[in-house]
Chains A and B, each alone.
Chain A
Amino acid sequence: MTKEILLSTRNLHKSYGKKESKFDALKGIDLEIDEGETVAIIGKSGSGKSTLMHLLALLDRPTSGTIKLNGISTNRLKNKRLNHLRNKEFGFVFQSFFMNADDTVLNNVILPLKIAGLGYRERKRRAMEALQIVEIEDKAKNKANDLSGGQKQRVCIARAIVNNPKVIFADEPTGNLDSVTGDKITKLLFDLNKDKGITLIIVTHDEDIASKCKRQIRITDGKVISDSNIKKGQK
């Protein structure tokens, strides 16, 4: 069984600022990530993990280099197309949740479908389904702000899977959680990979979580210093 390449990058550079204050956050990243993989991007704070994830998730454009999604270069795609790709193909989980605190749990989960322009009934049905998967459907009508940290992250995972994405990008998903809750959230993410074949790209500095992934990519100062997937033979 040959696996399709989902994401690949070639000589990816990202700099912030101009002239004297110019800072190179990424200095030539080459990667290939297959469909269905679980990938941990590990590194110290400030090493460029989030920057890399934002580029892979098409939230930002590289200063130079290319990113291919399903073999198609994304560099020249219009913003409209990128918006559509993120909305349809990606799910996002962030360290600090990013929820609309005053809104209900259900409305938070519905958001990607609302942006997609789905009808009210259909999006409610699918959001309830997603909430069932993360086992928090009984809190659907609660205000997001009234939940505990672990519950919030479950809601965020529900939001990330509500659009049936190909890949979930998780930036320090357990960073704000205690270790027991964090383990549960991690398990939930890996179950999604197993049951639905969703590719996981997890940014973390937690070695425990990283070791649960099939593949670990270590980043220091904007460069890949090790990749457990040696068969790919990075330069």
Chain B
Amino acid sequence: MKTLDIIKSANQNLLRNKLRTVLTVLAIFIGSFTIILNTAIQTGVNSFINGQVEAYGGDGYVIIMSADTMNALGDQMGVSSGEPKEYDPDKIQNSATPISEKQLDELNELSSIEKNSIQPMHNVSISYATSDKTDKKYILEASILPPGEVNIDTVAGVKPDLDSEENQITLPPNYASVLGYDSEEAIVGQTITLAVQDQVTLAYTDFEAKVVGVQASGIITQNSALINRVLGDEIYEENTKYYPENMKNQVYSVSAEFRYKDYSAEEVKDQLKEIGLVGMTVDDIVGSIQSFFDVIITVFNIFGMIALLTAAIGIINTLFMSVQERTREIGLDKALGMPSSEVFLSFTVEAVSLGFWGSLLGTGVAMAAGFGANAIFHAAGGFLEAFPTFQLVEFTPYNVIMLMLVIMLVAFLAGTLPAQKAASKDPIDALRYE
């Protein structure tokens, strides 16, 4: 028999007992819907988290501070042992300690750290932002863009060019309209004013900055503008102009890129430890969110699998009934020369067809539900309104096709039992059966 004929007649046979077929397909649908939607949510959330990770500085990003600073932070936040410590006059204790010049040099020599990627994390402080289109002044936090391949989601324009000679800024969401522009696109390319207050005279110094983009909302890069290095350095200089000379250059933390392709985060941390430094990678910061989320998804996937298992039993049942009903037909097919292997095949194809239709239906409804949910959540008043780049549900062709194939494989395995029974039927018995 031709393969196409086998597939055709398998599907025609499924239509003979429509109710039974519909019920079985429904069971497969429930299982596949659950798993496909789950996977899509997992993909959506993970790609969002990964996007956030990149916004933070990508895979190779590490924030480095002295071990003492870290301990001090730990003490303040109560995550250390809690044992009272004795005072040691030779040691600065329970307070942040700058990274020394020597440590910075050693750091630059570490094999795991990308040469010259080290950038001091100066805190820049701006009093307000304004533009010539408005008289109002708005508070604005800003930080210097981290080095490396940082991915910043923007709704308009781009992220600042870290090494550009011109002062550049990428604004957080919602600033375009308050600064007097019709849209996020309209403000891109315009110049705004950032004012920094003199700590002694209380006078303001203005800095011009060209808006190169507007960020999309995210979890991690909150309402902080990103500025490039020249602008950051200018503002930092203004912020620290009254500092004693030795304090001006004090660095409490630096960001750097490590060679994540060759070194694990643990190896980097070990190298840092040897020179008295502590590193925090992006995984340290967002990894726990992700693993918490993965647990929830796994639980849902178990539900899906149980549903699918039930569906598999449904397939076995349905096909056993149909083998029973079609005893004579199978006998006739075999008498007329159909090999047992084709009888086996035609029943497993029936099972696979059930799996195919069930999972196709599951995929279709899951996609409709997913896209619907995305639209509803992102609509005005939806809980994801503030995160336009976050697709809660994300279907990838690879995932969808793989899942459908897995479900069809499960259906196939379920079908082998009844198919074996059909294939082993003796045509004589079947023909005598009246």
Contact = CB atoms under 8 A, between A and B. Distances in A.
B321 interface: no
Given A59-B428, A60-B428, A96-B434, A112 B329 contact: no
Contacts of A86: 335-337
Contact of B337 (A60, A84, A94, A100): A84
Nearest to B337: A87
B167 to A, nearest CB: 75
A79 B342 CA distance: 13
B328 A98 contact: yes
Interface string B410-434: 0000000000000000111001101
A146 interface: no
A111 interface: yes
A98 B336 CA distance: 11
A100 B328 CA distance: 9
A114 interface: yes
B110 interface: no
A145 B16 CA distance: 15
Interface residues of B, number: 23
Contacts of B342: 115
Contacts of A60: 426, 428
Name the interface size band of chain A.
Answer: 20 to 34
Contacts of B336: 86-87, 92, 111-112, 115
A116 B431 contact: no
B50 interface: no
B340 interface: yes
Contacts of A59: 335, 427-428, 431
B411 to A, nearest CB: 24
A235 interface: no
Interface in A116-133: 116-117
Interface string B321-339: 0000000110111111111
Contacts of B337: 83-88, 112, 115-116
Contacts of A117: 1-2, 5
Interface of A is mostly: helix
A101 to B, nearest CB: 9
Contacts of B427: 59
Contacts of B16: 102
B339 A83 contact: yes
Contacts of A114: 1-2, 5
A126 to B, nearest CB: 15
Interface in A67-99: 79-80, 83-88, 92, 94, 96, 98
A146 B269 CA distance: 83
Contact of B431 (A85, A98, A102): A98
A223 interface: no
Closest 8 CB pairs of A and B: A87-B337, A83-B337, A86-B337, A115-B338, A112-B336, A98-B332, A83-B339, A117-B2
Interface of A: 50, 54, 59-60, 79-80, 83-88, 92, 94, 96, 98, 100, 102, 111-112, 114-117
23 contacts: A50-B432, A54-B428, A60-B426, A83-B337, A84-B337, A85-B337, A86-B336, A86-B337, A87-B336, A87-B338, A88-B337, A96-B434, A98-B331, A98-B332, A98-B431, A111-B332, A111-B336, A114-B5, A115-B333, A115-B337, A115-B342, A117-B2, A117-B5
Interface of B: 1-2, 5, 16, 328-329, 331-340, 342, 426-428, 431-432, 434
Given A59-B427, A60-B428, A115-B333, 15 more contacts: A50-B432, A59-B335, A79-B339, A83-B337, A84-B337, A86-B335, A87-B336, A88-B337, A94-B431, A98-B331, A98-B431, A102-B16, A111-B333, A111-B336, A112-B336
